[in-house]
A and B are shown apart, each in its own frame.
Chain A
């Protein structure tokens, strides 16, 4: 394609070129693409796949949430009706409440445990650190399906080993999986067991970037190990803890496998989680539009929760 104006080697960005912008820009673009063709080519697979399997679905999902659709046949445009109905949907909000309750049940404990474990590994058990890291990381490699079923056996009310052990010390059988709150607690235990290792390793990595002198200075000043941990180490660990909490928020609202296998969402929907609701709305009820609306609401709540977390963290730092 012949250039409109005189050929220039280095185009100057001035207003006179406004008339020649289309071809000058195209020429510059082509030259850039040509000079950098390799990195662009290397990065292209991601963006192609991304456009097809990420951008398009998300955009489509939004359009879908404004319609009613059974999967075949025509879509019926309903505007914001799905969202309006969602606001009144007790089952859905029950699942959201379950997610929040579960979060409160396990996250504080798990995060605190992770920090303590990491501190211990960083300090006293340095020599065996590799072995301990491996052990606590084991749950990460396991199928949650297998673990879920195993926990069902372990916490079975009549024949589970937990109640057996409690019985030996004289405590009555606890209805772990048969009681709504028992089920929530058991699920919290399962999630803690599953994610503690990962979070501990993250905390450990964070601890290792904090110089020992800072902590030791606190000890010299007379602080006990626990005090040093609380007043010196933890504030310095804030970014890592924030990262861990963000992962926990996203993870909790995305839970599907663990509650599905451990309790099937019961008893009486006590452990039904948002993604389970989306799943059943899609595959059992075939209400694709409504399910899409649900997923957007869950997404919005996750963003809100994460934003609040960051706000609180920033305010605490000042």
Chain B
């Protein structure tokens, strides 16, 4: 299971010729040359910045908006909430393939957002999975807390910001981690909307290392792969329980 990761790490310390010599597992003379060359020849820091900016922006915006909507569905009774929620769930079944072309045209011809981070942040800022997740999570929030705040005269927005958000931190962290990982590793949509190399995210940068058959710089690629993996590993080790629980929410009833 972990073998590919091990291979990635081990290969990143081998020079190109050794990677393709075969028959070796550990590097004969481990070297960080691949990393140095990668940083020297490509704007790795730029790609890291782009990935980070997009992931953080999306995560913050999306977590808050999904918490807002999830809170409304969980703690308020208002006309239409049942079919609205069912409708939101139904949209999860629509594959991205149907949206790819028209969304791209919207970005390019109407909004002129091509080559900016906006197409990666805005469209799913309030997304069905997040709303579903937060609703499940917030249903268990004790009503007494909210009611006593209302009796004290707090506005609904204040209640959300000062009571709901702080007490649902574990759930928010779970969702935020899932969002962050998703954005960090995203490939298809960034490939479609980001066109200048200086705007590339990490996966796009890795992809650009591919050349003609036989001329792909696998040594640099492995180094880049490890770099792209490290933040995710750290996040995962810290938030691991929450990520696993959160990502599989809703698979089983109850």
Contact = CB atoms under 8 A, between A and B. Distances in A.
Interface residues of A, number: 84
Do most interface residues of chain A lie in helix, strand or loop, or is the interface mixed? helix
A275 B232 contact: no
Contacts of A61: 98-99, 101-102
A49 B244 CA distance: 28
A292 interface: yes
B137 to A, nearest CB: 15
A257 interface: yes
Contact of A150 (B100, B160, B225, B248): B225
Given A43-B69, A149-B221, A138 B236 contact: yes
Contacts of A110: none
B97 A150 contact: no
A202 interface: yes
B129 to A, nearest CB: 12
Contact of A298 (B5, B97, B241): B97
Interface in B173-217: 181, 184-185, 187-188, 192, 202-203, 206-207, 210
Contact of A143 (B19, B73, B108, B225): B225
Interface residues on B, range: 35 or more
A39 interface: yes
Interface in B10-41: 11, 19-23, 25
Interface in A134-152: 134-147, 149-152
B38 to A, nearest CB: 13
A153 B187 contact: no
A49 B125 contact: yes
Contacts of A54: 91, 94, 99, 123
A25 to B, nearest CB: 13
B59 to A, nearest CB: 14
A45 interface: yes
Contacts of A49: 122-126
Contacts of B78: 32, 36, 39-40
Contact of A46 (B126, B218, B232): B126
Contact of B65 (A46, A60, A198, A240): A46
A154 B78 CA distance: 56
Contacts of A159: 19-23
Interface string A101-138: 00000000000000000000000000000100111111
A193 interface: yes
B225 A257 contact: no
A43 B101 contact: no
Nearest to A49: B126
Nearest to B156: A38
A142 B127 CA distance: 22
Contacts of B11: 150, 153
Interface string B126-137: 110001000000
Contact of B244 (A137, A150, A151, A296): A137
A283 B101 CA distance: 9
A117 to B, nearest CB: 10
Contacts of B207: 145, 261
Interface in B98-130: 98-106, 108-109, 122-127
B177 to A, nearest CB: 9
A45 B68 contact: yes
B48 interface: no
B105 A53 contact: no
Interface in B207-254: 207, 210, 218, 221-222, 224-225, 228-229, 232-233, 235-236, 240-241, 243-244, 247-248, 251-254
Contact of B97 (A153, A206, A295): A295
Across the A-B interface, give the 10 residue pairs with the lowest CB-CB distance, nearest first. A159-B22, A146-B225, A57-B102, A46-B126, A42-B72, A39-B76, A53-B123, A36-B78, A39-B72, A61-B102
10 contacts: A42-B76, A46-B88, A46-B131, A135-B1, A137-B240, A144-B185, A152-B218, A159-B21, A205-B248, A240-B252
